[in-house]
Structure 1
Amino acid sequence: RNSLHADSNIPAYILTVIKHKCLNYLQRLRTTEKVTKYLKDCSDWELNLRISTLEACNPERIFCDEIQKIVEETLQKLPLQTREIFIRSRYNNQSHKEIAESLKISTKSVEFHLTKALKVLRIALKDYFPILFFFPYIYR
């Protein structure tokens, strides 16, 4: 490389050097394209994963489960009679009069226990009230 022999074919040598330089360039280009394609595929895969994760996520269901759990835990903390009256009123759709007659208490007592239960639930669910008002409008 440092010196050429006098009998060397200089045009052939130059052509060989150019050929190898071109091959090296094209191989680097191919490698760059492979890496670029691989990175794009990884990026596409990540994007598709994020999209599918967001599509599969149902915030209404997540919050519904959380809220239901909080309601159940809060009801368990209530006094037995208050819990019983709340369950009969809200879950069994009994009227105040029906509850009062079956438990042999006044309707005012039923109202008192319901007010007490609702107050405790309101405090337990205070962080969810904005969400409860917002979600009905999202899915219409």
Structure 2
Amino acid sequence: MDSASDIRNFNNLFNEYYSRFVRFAMGYLKDQPVAEDFVSEAFTLYWENRETLLQDTNAPAYILTIVKNKCINHLHHEQIRLNAEKEMTEHAEWVLNTRLATLEASDPEYLFSDEMRDIVRKTLDKLPLKTRRIFILNRYHGFSYKDIAKKMNLSPKTVEYHISKALSCLRLSLRDFIFLSAILFLLF
């Protein structure tokens, strides 16, 4: 067969079966662009391999088999993705439920126990005087950043910096205490 005849036969095959094969793929994929891509790829593979195929190869069946296998692989990958999403959602739900249960079970009296107050006091005592004073004005006396800035002749950004510095030190000092509390809660 000559090249022009090959092209004509391929065009006839394409025109006759392309839409049918896209509908076939759509029946499983429910995604028009992906179905069209798979059918186009199958026709391309047929064209590239036409000279190595057996003389009696049924071209439409060959192409449809490629489309079918591409659909199967796609659906397997989709199944794996959905299973991974499900596992991630279940893990996120577990984390959320744990956080919610921990919060619901937390006792404010316990959280402000003598031991914790002692850790906070010792940490605040180690802070520079200005940082400690700004933190106390904000957290214990309820002054806003703006009010503290005006009272101490500072910019609100400077106040924010000192509060952030104090909170960072407190988080560091309290991390073991809070971690231990969470572990004890989960065990009992």
Normalising by the residue count of structure 2, what TM-score does the alignment of the two structures yield?
0.37
Name which structure has the greater RCO, CA cutoff 8 Å, separation 6+: 1
**Rg comparison, structure with higher value:** 1
